[in-house]
Amino acid sequence: MRIGPYQLDNQVILAPMAGVTDQPFRQLCYSKGAGLTVSEMLSSNPKVWKTGKSRQRMDHSGELGIRAVQIAGSEPSLMAEAAKVNVDMGAQIIDINMGCPAKKVNKKMAGSALMQYPELVEEILTAVVSAVDVPVTLKTRTGWDREHKNGIEIARIAERCGIQSLALHGRTRACMYKGEAEYDTIRAVKKAISIPVIANGDIRTPQQAKDVLAYTGADAIMIGRGAQGNPWLFREISHYLETGEELAPPPIAEVAETTINHVEQLHSFYGSFQGVRIARKHVGWYLKEQASNDEFRQVFNRLEDASEQLQALEDYFVTVEKR
């Protein structure tokens, strides 16, 4: 799949997820086979750009792969300025968030709330595309709710405004993340527009990925929650799509090395205090994917020191390998 001048290595993309797709996680997923990774969404409000959180999200120093940065907001001029600032900071693709269902985002008329206002959508897309000389992409949902599913209308606006690819989550905003994603709308959108379409929602196995691509005709798939604690999913899907063969699960030695290295990167990127706290959720996801160990997880979550976290993980995996 191609986005503007950029040829992706494969059809498997890491979805932007607030509080998850920071630089350490993006780099990990890229190393495990993601064809593209997308940053956490950045507010278009310039008042928050100098906060520690925003500075970390805007940091792309030494980052491998195509640097795609997602921005969120509702003011066309501010969105355009945010796009320019992030391009100056190293973004090679700007992605616009019109899919986030979170209440605090929607209250500001950003995220999926924008799907209620097609005219404003067009203004924002036009402003951002005109402001930068890099490809601009869009992530949306199927609509605001089941009675107002306008995914096709928004997709046509996007194509008309010069958007280079469209990622579509198979749920409405009202659905949040409940129930099952539907792919009929994604299929209809793919037939309605000529730009690349990326299918998103509930894809957790190589077979699901293949089935969704076949049914929707999408050009690629986007993995979100399925990658939490399971970054190997990218190479497993890519391999299956290329060969039809399923890869064996990663050996426990690789799981141990990946988990420990990831936690070390979190400590380094955020500093020991914040890194220790952020590491807890990632370790919880790794444990859940491998074989949930609630006792160890509870012990790990009480640790306050970075070195203690690393030692606890090393001891834990030594025990697991001996079983």
- Measured over all CA atoms, what is the biggest interatomic distance in the chain, rounded to whole angstroms? 61
In the annotation, is 100 catalytic?
yes
Task: Give the CA radius of gyration of the chain.
Answer: 20
**Positions in the chain whose pLDDT score sits under 50:** none
115 annotated to bind ligand: no
Q: Residues 29, 100, 161, 175: which is the catalytic one?
A: 100
Pairwise CA distance, residues 302 & 282, whole Å:
15
pLDDT of residue 155: 97
User: Is 200 part of any known ligand binding site?
Assistant: yes
Q: Is 70 annotated as a binding residue?
A: yes
Please tell me whether the overall predicted TM-score, pTM, comes out greater than 0.75 for this model.
yes
CA separation, residue 143 to residues 118, 239, 291 (Å):
11, 33, 37
pLDDT at 291: 63
Partner residues linked to 136 by β-bridges:
94
Query: Torsion-angle region of residue 143: left (phi > 0), alpha (psi -120 to 50) or beta?
Result: left
CA distance to 269, 290, 307, per residue, from 67 (Å): 18, 30, 31
| Predicted pLDDT at 206 | 98
- 50 annotated ligand binder: no
For residue range 20-47, what is the model confidence (pLDDT) as tens digits?
A: 999 999 999 999 999 999 999 998 888 7
Tokens of 223: 């993995």
Q: Which helix (H) or strand (E) segment is 159 a member of?
A: helix 151-161
Residue 202, annotated ligand binder?
Answer: yes
C-alpha span between 278 and 22 (Å, rounded): 11
Length of the chain (residues): 323
Is 16 annotated as contributing to ligand binding?
yes
Cα 139 vs. chain centroid, distance in angstroms?
A: 10
